[in-house]
C-alpha cells in the first residue's frame, strides 16, 4: 500500500493495488482451507470454510469489476 501511495504513474499504482488485493484474496482462501481441514475452533470448520470462500470470491469479483473500470477510465 505504501508503494502505491508514492506512485505518480497510474498503471504502476493500479498494479501495486492489484498485488495488495491478491494478498487479501489469498487470506480468504487460506481461511477457507483452514476451515475445510477442520483445524479451526471446534465446530466452526464449516462456517470458517463458508466465510473464507465467500469473502475470497466476493473480493475476486469486486476487484475484477472495479479494476476493469479503472483501466477503462485511465485511457480517457
* Positions of the chain with pLDDT under 70: 1-7, 39-43, 76
pLDDT at 7: 66
pLDDT at 28: 92
> How many Å apart are CA 62 and CA 58, to the nearest integer?
6
Residues 70/14, Cβ–Cβ less than 8 Å: yes
Closest CA to 18 of 60, 72, 57: 60
pLDDT at 2: 63
Amino acid at each position: 500500500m505504501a508503494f502505491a501511495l508514492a506512485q505518480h504513474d497510474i498503471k504502476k499504482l493500479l498494479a501495486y493495488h492489484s498485488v495488495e488485493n491478491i494478498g487479501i484474496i489469498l487470506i480468504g482462501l487460506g481461511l477457507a482451507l483452514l476451515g475445510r481441514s477442520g483445524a479451526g475452533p471446534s465446530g466452526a470448520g464449516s462456517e470458517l470454510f463458508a466465510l473464507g470462500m465467500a469473502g475470497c470470491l466476493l473480493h475476486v469479483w469486486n476487484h475484477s469489476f472495479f479494476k476493469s473500470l479503472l483501466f477503462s477510465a485511465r485511457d480517457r
